[in-house]
Amino acid sequence: MIKFPTRCPSCNSGLVVRKLSCDHCETEVGGTFPLPRLTGLSPDDQDFILSFVESSGSLKEMATRLGVSYPTVRNRLNEIIDTLKEKTP
Amino acid sequence: MTETESPKLPRKNLLTWLWNPFAVIAGGPALAAGVLIILATGYLASHTLTHFDGVLDTHVGLRAPLWFFLAEGILNWLCLFIVLLFGGTIVAKHRSFRIIDLFGTQALARWPFLITALVTFLPGFKSFNAKLLTIVNQGKIAFPSAPASEIITFIFVTFMMIVVTVWFVALAWKSFRISCDVRGWKAITVFTIGVIIAEVLSKLAFIFVLLPML
């Protein structure tokens, strides 16, 4: 799977979207669009957030579904919260 | 619903159950299992007069009723739990941890002592220990004469007691780390000091609360 780039490989600054295009009619839209905050997370972390939403935000349900303990899931969420805080200017 | 699994999350296998059980069990289930194991350990220990007379201690010899052995296990569990709960509230970065997780996992962390209670049943240990106690009670320092099988059993049981204590400390740390979401040197320091305080507390409780009730 191709990794979605969020940082500049040269200076490590955050990247922005310059161009969006429609695959159907090939219309192109240009501008400066900031990336959503969640794209700053690793694919694993994004999967975790997705799973969290799918579980209606219930850590208990998520722990049962993933076969791990409640504090394991909660700690992982805490890690992601910390990562998001670090990446927020 | 899409099943999204993260490779960072632990898997249920034998190694996880032995070394990092709280990654897969905590809260109420850990509490129920832990209490059952503490009581089973006390029951078995009462047959071989094995006392867990301190958070980290194991001694053999003193005659006591069943309730005394059961109370020892519960006392040790509560002492370390209370101290680590206090430590956790100081050092935890996120204040959202559940007390039930620390309470339950600390109970289950004591499960290796069940192995200690079981190995003291090995033939030869009781008789060698009785000979050793007789010599010690006479105020002498000597190695009792006994068959080689008894000596080997005694060495093995003593070795297992040390292994179990180290294992318990490792599990107690994992329980603290996972339940309170703490890490780093600050957490290790708080845990180490906590274990020492809990050991002193449990010893004091044993001497001044439990023993007078005998």
Is the Cβ–Cβ distance between A13 and A7 less than 8 Å? yes
Tell whether the model's pLDDT for residue B1 goes beyond 60. no
Residues 16-45 of A with CB under 8 A from B: 44-45
**Which of B6, B16, B105, B180 to mutate against chain A (most A CBs within 10 Å)?**
B6
Indicate the domain borders of chain B: 23-213
Residue B114 contacts A, CB cutoff 8 Å: no
B99 touches chain A (CB under 8 A): no
Q: Are B90 and B193 in contact (CB under 8 A)?
A: no
CB A55 within 8 A of CB A62: yes
In angstroms, what separates the C-alpha of A52 from chain B's closest C-alpha? Answer: 9
Q: How far is B111 from chain A, CA to nearest CA, in Å?
A: 18
Percent of chain B with pLDDT over 70: 96
Contact status of B123 with chain A (Cβ, < 8 Å)? no
> What are the residues facing B187 on neighbouring strands?
none
Let me know: does B177 contact B58? Beta carbons within 8 Å: no
Q: Is residue A77 predicted with pLDDT exceeding 50?
A: yes
Of the candidates A50, A66, A74, the beta carbon closest to that of B9 is on: A66
The answer to whether A51 touches A68, Cβ cutoff 8 Å, is: no
More confident residue, B199 or B14: B199
Model confidence band, residue A88 (pLDDT cutoffs 50, 70, 90): low
Residue type, B201: L
Q: Give the integer Cα–Cα distance in Å for B53 and B72.
A: 6
pLDDT in tens, B28-82: 999 999 999 999 999 999 999 999 999 999 999 889 999 999 999 999 999 999 9
User: Are B140 and B125 spatial neighbours (Cβ–Cβ below 8 Å)?
Assistant: no
Model confidence band, residue B126 (pLDDT cutoffs 50, 70, 90): confident
Give A62→chain B minimum CA distance, Å: 10
Q: Which of A48, A69, A71 sits opposite B6 (nearest CB)?
A: A48
pLDDT surpassing 50 at residue B185: yes
ipTM of the complex: 0.83
Q: What is the pLDDT of residue B7?
A: 46
